Amino acid sequence: MLGRSLFLQLIPPFLLGTFILTFILSMDTVYKLINLIVSRGVPLGSVLLMLLYRLPQFLSVTLPIAVVITVVVVLVRLSNDLELTAMGASGLSPWQLSVPVATFGLLVTILDLGITLWMQPAGYAAYEEETLRLLRSQTAKTIRPGVLNYDFPGKVLYVESKSPNDELEGIFISDTELRPSSMVSLSSKGQLLIREKERDILLQLKQGTMHFANVEGGYRTMDFEEFQYQFRAPQLDGSQNRKVWGVSTMDLIQSDQYFGEQTRQREFQLRLTTPMTCLAFALAALTIGMVDPRRGRSNAYLQALALIIIHYILWSFSKELTIGKEPMKAVVLWVPPILIGLWGVYQIQLSHQNWRGPLEWCWDHLPFKNLSSPKT
């Protein structure tokens, strides 16, 4: 009964913490998407749909952090209310207390696995499709006759007229900043094509003339029947194109058509190891939240913050180690959650034996440890 009660107490703060963390993490994306409404006139429905597609990415990051905050906050409250003391007096050991916490962490891990393995790739794929759809419609709208267009990086485009089927006439295109090596193109007609597979934009010019300088410092022209400018399709919200993130997990495992073995293994291991952090954090945060009511709660919150930072440092370091390495090196990504989980098990055993180990001794002798502790 005590285990069930503790498990149920973890759910409300977890939901609240996940909502707040996800909202904070998505603020930058929300700002960029709102800018689409103001600057490009994108419909609100499309912007909300794009935000929904990005939601799994935010959740995969915020769920582990929410687990740490939830476990520490709930156990600190139980410690201050002397409920943990009463549980210990009734014969409940730290290992028995860890069962509902580990179960909670395991369930969140399964939820996060579903997000990283299925929802997140599907969300990215849908996000890219929606971006291309908007890009196609917005590009046709932003290119207006008689108006200089700066949508293409490093280029300025001017057209005299545009037909109902979006064919351009009287085209002038040049570098934004003119240099000796710059090239200016004039064409009687042309058309913009958006290639979905290559994720780029082609400006096809027909029956025109190119003006550019030669190596001797002179000036010459060259007539052409057809000429193409290739532009990389910009992300409407300013983010980079990360195509591998939009590949389904099954395609990532079975096919190497677009990505090398090392890239596929790295991405697959990332999708597996990120959720495992939830269980590792639940075990590690258990003893952090079991505080002495007379010593205050600030130390517990500082230790929880340190745990998140240490894991992020280990994760970033292990991620860098997998770049440009053999495919089997991707297993290094398992090191951070395993280390955090083993440290949590170690601390639970110390608490069970009521023995002060070297890690706790080091924490108690830090110079700033007692700065926020209440004086008696």
CA angle 310, 54, 51 (to 5 degrees): 130
Provide mean pLDDT across the span 109-136. 85
- Helix then strand then coil, in percent of the chain rounded to 5, is 60, 15, 25
- Cβ-based neighbours of 186, under 8 Å, separated by 6 or more: 171, 172, 208, 209, 210, 211
CA angle 11, 333, 286 (to 5 degrees): 30
**271, 296, 306: which is closest to 371 by C-alpha?**
296
Which pLDDT score, from 0 to 100, does residue 328 have? 58
**pLDDT bucket at 355, cuts 50 / 70 / 90:** very low
**186, 188, 184, 166: which is closest to 176 by C-alpha?**
184
DSSP 8-state class, residue 149: B
Please name the residue that has the structure tokens 């696995």.
113
DSSP 8-state class, residue 296: -
CA angle 222, 223, 227 (to 5 degrees): 100
Please name the residue that has the structure tokens 């409407």.
236
Which pLDDT score, from 0 to 100, does residue 340 have? 93
How far, in Å, CA of 264 to CA of 367, rounded? 46
- Cβ-based neighbours of 375, under 8 Å, separated by 6 or more: none
**pLDDT bucket at 217, cuts 50 / 70 / 90:** low
Q: What is the pLDDT of residues 232-260, one digit of tens each?
A: 655 544 444 456 777 777 777 776 555 56
**168, 165, 162, 197: which is closest to 185 by C-alpha?**
168
Report CA torsion sign: 87, 90, 94, 95: negative
The type of residue at 60 is S
Q: In angstroms, how far is CA 254 from the centroid of its own chain?
A: 24
How far, in Å, CA of 92 to CA of 147, rounded? 76
**Domain residue ranges in the chain:** 2-137+245-364, 152-232
Please provide residue 33's backbone torsions phi and psi, each rounded to the nearest 5 degrees.
Answer: -70, -35
How far, in Å, CA of 261 to CA of 164, rounded? 46
Is residue 324 over pLDDT 80? no
Q: What is the pLDDT of residues 64-109, one digit of tens each?
A: 999 999 999 999 888 888 777 777 777 777 888 888 999 999 999 9
Q: What is the pLDDT of residues 164-173, one digit of tens each?
A: 777 888 888 8
Question: pTM of this prediction?
Answer: 0.72
Please provide residue 123's backbone torsions phi and psi, each rounded to the nearest 5 degrees.
Answer: -65, -40
Which pLDDT score, from 0 to 100, does residue 12 have? 93
- Angstrom distances, CA of residue 159 to CA of 86, 142, 167, 182: 79, 12, 10, 19
- Cβ-based neighbours of 27, under 8 Å, separated by 6 or more: none
Q: Is 188 helix (H, G, I), strand (E, B) or coil?
A: strand
Which pLDDT score, from 0 to 100, does residue 365 have? 57
Q: Is 165 helix (H, G, I), strand (E, B) or coil?
A: coil
How far, in Å, CA of 317 to CA of 311, rounded? 10
More confident residue, 285 or 136: 285
Which two three-digit tokens encode residue 142? 């932003």
**pLDDT bucket at 192, cuts 50 / 70 / 90:** confident
